Amino acid sequence: MRARRPVRPVPALAALLLAAALALTGCSGSTSDSGGRSTAGKAVRSDGKAAAPGGEKNASGAGAKRAPKLTASSIIRTASLTVQVEDVPKALDAARTTTENAGGYVGDETTSRDGKGRERTRVVLRVPVDKYDEVLAGLQGTGKLLDRTAKAEDVTDQVVDVDSRIKSQRASVARVRELMDRATKLSDVVELEGELSNREADLEALLAQQSSLKDRTSLATITLSLSETPVKADTKDESPGFVDALAGGWGAFLTMLRWLAVAFGAVLPFAAVAALIALVWLRLVRPRLPHRPAPATGAPGPLPTARPAPQAPGTRENDQD
């Protein structure tokens, strides 16, 4: 009968030691992780900017989603002002100073004079949107406000759409370039180059549109029109005298002569043509026309004598007796 060998406890002891080591490792890892999280949490709390409400998480662990706010960068602001001032150059210098102090610049400028010599200037000002109201109020106070028009156009949807299309177009251009790198046939390379050129042109157009939107939304446009104050007329009540009446009558007479001269000048070409036609008729046409014989106009002959009436026979005898 064979004797049974005693079971050695070495494998079981090794398994127990391995399990204990794994357990200790997991505990130390969780402890360090929790310690790191607590340290990071303290750092976040110590920094006021990092502990902003937008960066915190809700109870479920997911980032809190907030509705996007409408910012000034998504609104195009334009205004038009007409101000009457006593000195246009001085008011224009003040408007330039106000605009430059606000961080803007002066655009187009047009200056003219009317028939009475009064100066009028039209200038386009570009100012940051955060200084828009301040600059507008300052420009209105330079003189007498005659007209004001202000508009605000919301282009948020357009900005978002352009940004999304630019992102998609860039990805499309990158894909075409990858295909060009892997192309082996010349025909494929030529076709891909044409497609890449078209997509890059579309991307450049979108980038230009994005730049224009950014410029118009970051800087407000103010069109300022400055005009001089008209000189006040003398309000003295003076009744017209003989000299005034004579001057008025002479002016009316000259005006009448001027109109008569205008009328004569207008009729003169027609009168000249009519006179020329009459002269041609009398000198050339009429003498060549055939003449008709004139009817006889002699002295009338003797009138016929009346015959005596016949008499009865008895009457003649009586006459002889």
User: Residue 110 sits in a domain of what CATH number?
Assistant: 3.30.70
* Domain final residue pick, 133, 154, 175: 154
Whether 269 shows a pLDDT value over 80: the answer reads yes
The pLDDT assigned to 206 comes to 93
Q: How far is residue 132's CA from residue 99's CA, in Å, rounded to a whole number?
A: 10
Is residue 98 domain-shared with residue 116, that is, in the same domain? yes
In-domain check, residue 274: no
In-domain check, residue 3: no
Is residue 165 domain-shared with residue 202, that is, in the same domain? yes
DSSP letter assigned to residue 103: T
Is residue 150 domain-shared with residue 161, that is, in the same domain? no
40 sits in which H/E element: helix 10-46
One-letter amino acid identity for 120?
R
Nearest to 207 by CA among 174, 162, 161: 162
The pLDDT assigned to 228 comes to 84
In-domain check, residue 30: no
**Whole domain around residue 171: which residue ranges?**
157-216
Residue-wise pLDDT tens digits, 163-216? 999 999 999 999 999 988 888 888 888 888 898 899 999 999 999 999 998 988
* Domain final residue pick, 103, 132, 154: 154
Reduced to 3 states (helix: H, G, I; strand: E, B; else coil), residue 265 is: helix
In-domain check, residue 12: no
In-domain check, residue 98: yes
In-domain check, residue 261: no
The pLDDT assigned to 86 comes to 87
Q: Is 92 exposed, middle or buried (0-12, 13-18, 19+ CB in 10 A)?
A: buried
Nearest to 209 by CA among 164, 258, 151, 149: 164
How many structural domains comprise the chain? 2
Is residue 137 domain-shared with residue 175, that is, in the same domain? no
The pLDDT assigned to 245 comes to 82
What is the mean pLDDT of the segment spanning 91-100?
A: 90
What is the mean pLDDT of the segment spanning 127-146?
A: 88
Nearest to 119 by CA among 90, 98, 77: 90
The pLDDT assigned to 36 comes to 43
Lowest mean pLDDT among 57-66, 242-251, 266-275: 57-66
* Domain final residue pick, 154, 169, 189: 154
Is residue 106 domain-shared with residue 166, that is, in the same domain? no
In-domain check, residue 176: yes
Predicted TM-score of the model (pTM): 0.46
Is residue 76 domain-shared with residue 134, that is, in the same domain? yes
Is residue 109 domain-shared with residue 141, that is, in the same domain? yes
The pLDDT assigned to 204 comes to 93
The pLDDT assigned to 124 comes to 93
Is residue 164 domain-shared with residue 197, that is, in the same domain? yes
Whether 138 shows a pLDDT value over 80: the answer reads yes
Q: How far is residue 320's CA from residue 311's CA, in Å, rounded to a whole number?
A: 13
In-domain check, residue 144: yes
The pLDDT assigned to 26 comes to 46
Quick check: 217 and 73 in contact, CB under 8 A?
yes
